[in-house]
Amino acid sequence: MSLLTREDDWITAAELADLIGVTPRSIRSYVTAVNGRVPSGVAVESGPLGYRAGPSIAAAGRAGGFEEGTPRERLHRLVREILAARDGIDVYETADAFFVSAATIEADLGRVRSLLSGTRLTLERSGPRARLVGSEMDQRRLLSRLAHDETEDGAFDLVTLRRALGRSTVAADVFGPLKRDLVAELSGLGYYVNEFGIGDVLMHIAIAADRVNRDRGLDEADDHPGGEALARISDTVDTLSQRHLDVHFGAGDLAHLAALVQSRVVAPGAEAPAATIRAGLDPVVEAAVREAVEQAAAEFLVDIGHEDFILRLALHVQNLRLRAAEQAWSRNPLTRSLKTTYPMIFEVAVFIADRLRGILGIALLDDEIAYIAMHVGGRLERSRRDGALLTAMIVCPGYYELHELLHSSISRSLGQSIDVIGVDTHVDPDWDAIDADLILTTIDAPVGGDRIVRIQPFLTDGDIERVHVAAGRVRRARRLARLRTELERYFSADAFVHGLDPDAGSDEVIARLGGLLVDQGVIDQAYVERTLERERLSSTAFTDALAVPHALGMTATRTAIAVGIADPSMRWGDGRVQVVTMVAFSESDRAAFQTVFEQLVEVFSERDSVQRIVRRGTTFGAFLDELVAVVDG
């Protein structure tokens, strides 16, 4: 469903099978199952060209979760049962309640032990009884993990949240009013509310309410150090929980929930002065963030070293450090789109996260890196907004004030994307002498080209749309022209592999491709090790088809790219890819990094292009020919 939702066009069963790593027959079964969730609608449309998202696909997602009776659904249900029972569960009674054999429950308990890996909880057995042993906070973290597992890309919705935590928790109609009042109250206190984190806080409030109703509240000993700001948030949570949940939290729960709100949801308002932000900052955190930002700016040649950016990022990192200490991560529903659409920005965020590992004490998950990427992207957008405009010349033969009216209409409707540098009022202009990115003309031009757009003397909606399309073509052509020039220098037949083992892991492929570059004297084995380390920080699968493994640091003797093609697709991180390009950059090509990195990802984010390159590029010559053909359009 996620793949279909992200596509605007039809996808064949074979293409979906490649992306997911199953057979086309399985895809047909999945489509039947998804449509079965919405009997009165169509979640997935079928046709001669394959499948595409139907009008009811969102409803099918909300109706989903783990299918009832499947092993994964039963495992989560079993964990919830054990957590709810202070004295644990009886294996035989639970088997009867679940309508399965005792042997099945015993097998599921083995899977529960695997689920507890990396936590401070243990599963104890005493005869037929099984119970979880560990602190109340650790048990709540396990509940939140179950809820996260049932959501796609961290996109919490109220229906999924209640289903994930068990339908006996908070009533479904409570979540909406609770969220609205919480946002309103926090805004009234002068905070900017992060809507991406509010679902996470609602989840923890629901967990806390359920546990308190089971007489499993947090002791005051679990309290967090506070202050005036935390006290105000605590009072707000207390008031709203009694109003909406009819639950009175103790001091320990209120301190815990207030700290969650402070570290996930709120930040000083947009007008807050630097002194106000700095007053709440740990100087150690500010110094570490400042150093990391300065290093990133120098490494990637990006303009992010601004004081307001550093202070707000430092405040975010300070909250992030609190979450890291508790291993209580905040989900981000934009992670996938940020990584795919803005790979360079995400890479800068990975670099900053890596430099902050010492102060955070732990490597970050992709969701948390994505929040840093949002800060970076916001800063870069402000820095480059003025430089993003294309120039345009208007050709409109003079007739009274007609050309002036047209100039005014274009500036009003398209001023954010193009910069009109002049108006030619001749009926026979020197077309070749017009030096502008776009020519917007009310008369037919004797020459053609992507930069010439025929418009009406009185601008129409259709004209505006055509100009936007032409501007997009010009921008893309420029980007890909630069990419073609770079790629032809960096590829070589000695660093090309077709037919990667689909069962190989990412480490094995990185070692193989890295070995080819080592043999060429481009990198050393230490670079390969750093590439593996970078992969562990965050998967380099930037699209549904492409992985770009690389090391942090441009230490290659020259820039080169090793290419591996997997047909069928192979697993990479949490997804699957068909093309792996291991990139090694040299210090002298630092300025080219952004061009190659972003545009390579852009090319392989187009599904038709990927399939064309994978199917036809069986040799190095054929691969390069197909890649150049795709770039040239």
DSSP 329: P
Same domain membership, residue 575 and residue 542: yes
Domain count, the chain: 5
The amino acid present at 520, given as its one-letter code, is Q
Phi and psi (nearest 5°) for 114? Answer: -65, -40
DSSP 345: H
Question: Mind giving me the DSSP string for 433-489?
Answer: G--SSEEEESS--SS--TTEEE--SS--HHHHHHHHHHHHHHHHHHHHHHHHHHHHH
Helices 71-84 and 136-149, axial angle in degrees (round to 10): 160
477 within domain boundaries = no
pLDDT surpassing 60 at residue 384: no
Same domain membership, residue 129 and residue 43: no
Q: Taking residues 360-383, what's their average pLDDT?
A: 84
Same domain membership, residue 304 and residue 248: no
Domain boundary among 268, 299, 334: 268
484 within domain boundaries = no
Same domain membership, residue 306 and residue 259: no
Instruction: Residue 55: give its domain's CATH number.
Output: 1.10.10.10
Q: Count H helices, E strands: the chain?
A: 27, 15
Same domain membership, residue 130 and residue 172: yes
Residues of the chain with pLDDT > 70, as a percent, come to 90
Q: Which residue range is the domain that position 548 belongs to?
A: 491-632
Same domain membership, residue 443 and residue 415: yes
Same domain membership, residue 217 and residue 156: yes
399 within domain boundaries = yes
Which residues does 529 contact at the CB level (< 8 Å), separation at least 6? Answer: none
Helices 172-188 and 158-165, axial angle in degrees (round to 10): 120
Q: Taking residues 358-374, what's their average pLDDT?
A: 84
Higher pLDDT, 532 or 592: 532
Lowest mean pLDDT among 57-71, 90-104, 520-534: 57-71
* Strand positions, DSSP E, 330-402: 390-395
Of 418, 444, 409, which Cα lies nearest the Cα of 429? 444
Instruction: Residue 566: give its domain's CATH number.
Output: 3.40.930.10
Which of 199-203, 224-228, 304-308, 472-476 has the largest mean confidence?
Answer: 304-308
Q: Taking residues 92-106, what's their average pLDDT?
A: 93
Q: Which two tokens stand for residue 100?
A: 């399965």
Beta-bridge partner residues of 392: 420, 438
Q: Taking residues 501-529, what's their average pLDDT?
A: 95
What is the pLDDT at residue 222?
Answer: 45
Same domain membership, residue 348 and residue 203: no
- C-alpha distances in Å from residue 234, one per residue of 193, 214, 495: 16, 22, 59
Strand ranges across the sheet with 122-126: 89-90, 129-133, 122-126
Instruction: Residue 453: give its domain's CATH number.
Output: 3.40.50.2300
3-state SS record for 135-174: CHHHHHHHHHHHHHHCCCCCCCCHHHHHHHHCCCCCCHHH
DSSP 526: H
pLDDT surpassing 50 at residue 223: no
28 within domain boundaries = yes
DSSP 250: -
Total-model pTM: 0.76
Domain boundary among 409, 439, 470: 470
CB atoms near residue 459 (< 10 Å): 20
Lowest mean pLDDT among 202-216, 370-384, 454-468: 370-384
How far is Cα 416 from Cα 422, in angstroms, rounded to an integer? Answer: 16
Lowest mean pLDDT among 187-196, 266-275, 457-466, 520-529: 266-275
Same domain membership, residue 248 and residue 100: yes
Cis peptide before 24 (omega within 30 of 0): no
Which residues does 188 contact at the CB level (< 8 Å), separation at least 6? Answer: none
Give per-residue pLDDT as tens, 612-623: 899 899 999 899
Res. 95 pLDDT band, cuts 50 70 90: very high
Same domain membership, residue 512 and residue 463: no
Res. 52 pLDDT band, cuts 50 70 90: very high
Return the H-helix or E-strand segment holding 215: none
* Per-residue b or e along 153-169, where b marks 16 or more CB atoms closer than 10 Å to that residue's CB: ebbbebebbbbbbbeeb
479 within domain boundaries = no
Spatial contact of 361 and 325, defined as CB atoms under 8 Å apart: yes
**Rounded-to-10 torsion of CA 2, 3, 6, 11:** -140
Domain boundary among 252, 268, 284: 268
Same domain membership, residue 183 and residue 225: yes
How far is Cα 78 from Cα 633, in angstroms, rounded to an integer? Answer: 54
What is the pLDDT at residue 582?
Answer: 95
Same domain membership, residue 258 and residue 127: yes
370 within domain boundaries = no
